[in-house]
């Protein structure tokens, strides 16, 4: 089934209103057909990832941002289940540690960027520095940045500088072979509520719920504005954002998988040149004569 994923991509400079993006779209898939599509994607992705690793020219950075319970972990588990673990790593970024705060905010992310041939998945990312801190600017004070010793000094220019820095870093990565895909999983407030209740009511899901999720939910509108500006300011041709409907998990997984495959297919991947037929024949003869 063909779906036009271009309509989920945020065009450079486009004003973003999340209410204009669907949360519950199914893309024409049912749970059954989506499962079939994901299975086919896994098979093709496994083959392309092996070639990607052997080609050794590119790396791939996949960024997942979303509200709580939007399904980031499920996307990673389902879409990437066929990948050779040697060629893929996942990093989930939590509150910065004391050591991490001794460096600039991008430092801890730079440490784990993918090397050539590797896929790196950031479950949350450097974008928390224009999301969580944008909604809670008092957290910026923990970074001890000269000139920003109080919340009152964190002005419009501060955030514009952060967007500019992130764009510059991602452009630099792209110019040096790292391909970047950024996915915002767009879950509705109603669906998040249902998923939170499920985590509370079903004992085997209790571990997924944190009481700290509720104060963040109470900041829904503030985060909405922060997400919209982030998408508007940092979606670039070399590092595009896709706003993925997240209320129907089966379509979320199909969409992310299809977009990743679309990128892999565009790279003109190939295996390194093999030894000449003569050398291979000679090696075979030597082995057979041992």
DSSP 72-104: HHHHHHHHTTTS-GGGEEEEE--SPPTTGGGS-
Q: What is the pLDDT of residue 85?
A: 81
Positions in the chain whose pLDDT score sits under 70: 1
Residues contacting residue 275 through CB under 8 Å, at least 6 positions apart: 283
Q: What is the pLDDT of residue 1?
A: 62
* Residue 187: Cβ-neighbour burial (10 angstroms; 0-12, 13-18, 19+): buried
pLDDT tens track for 268-284: 999 998 889 999 999 99
Element (H, E) at 178: strand 178-186
Domain that holds residue 239: 5-288
Q: What is the pLDDT of residue 3?
A: 87
**Is 270 in contact with 182 (CB distance < 8 Å)?**
no
**Is 54 in contact with 86 (CB distance < 8 Å)?**
no
For the chain, the domain total comes to 1
pTM: 0.94
Q: What is the CATH number of the domain that holds 233?
A: 3.40.50.300
**Is 61 in contact with 179 (CB distance < 8 Å)?**
yes
Q: How far apart are the C-alpha atoms of 155 and 96, rounded to whole Å?
A: 22
pLDDT tens track for 169-222: 999 999 999 999 999 999 999 999 999 999 999 999 999 999 999 999 999 999
Structure tokens at 172: 């630099």
């Amino acid at each position: 089934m063909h779906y036009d994923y271009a309509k989920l991509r945020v065009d450079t400079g486009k004003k973003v209103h999340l209410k204009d993006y669907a949360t519950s779209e199914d893309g024409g898939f049912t749970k059954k057909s989506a499962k079939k599509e994901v299975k086919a994607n896994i098979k093709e992705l496994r083959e392309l990832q092996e070639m990607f690793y052997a080609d050794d020219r590119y790396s791939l950075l996949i960024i997942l941002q979303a509200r709580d319970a939007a399904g980031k972990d499920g996307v990673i588990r389902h879409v990437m289940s066929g990948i050779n673990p040697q060629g893929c790593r996942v990093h989930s970024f939590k509150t910065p540690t004391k050591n991490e705060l001794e460096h600039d905010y991008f430092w801890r992310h730079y440490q784990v960027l993918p090397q050539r041939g590797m896929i790196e998945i950031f479950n949350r990312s450097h974008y928390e520095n224009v999301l969580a801190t944008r909604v809670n600017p008092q957290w910026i004070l923990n970074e001890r940045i000269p000139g920003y010793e109080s919340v009152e000094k964190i002005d419009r220019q501060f955030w514009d500088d952060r967007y500019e820095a992130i764009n510059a870093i991602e452009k630099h990565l792209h110019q040096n072979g790292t391909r970047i895909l950024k996915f915002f999983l767009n879950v509705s407030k109603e669906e998040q509520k249902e998923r939170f209740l499920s985590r509370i009511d079903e004992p085997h899901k209790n571990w997924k719920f944190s009481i700290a999720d509720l104060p963040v939910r109470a900041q829904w509108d503030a985060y909405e504005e922060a997400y919209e500006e982030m998408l508007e300011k940092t979606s670039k041709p070399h590092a595009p954002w896709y706003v993925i409907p997240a209320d129907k998990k089966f379509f979320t997984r199909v969409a992310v998988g299809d977009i990743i495959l679309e990128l892999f297919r565009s790279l003109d991947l190939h295996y390194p040149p093999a030894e000449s037929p003569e050398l291979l024949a000679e090696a075979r003869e030597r082995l057979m004569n041992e």
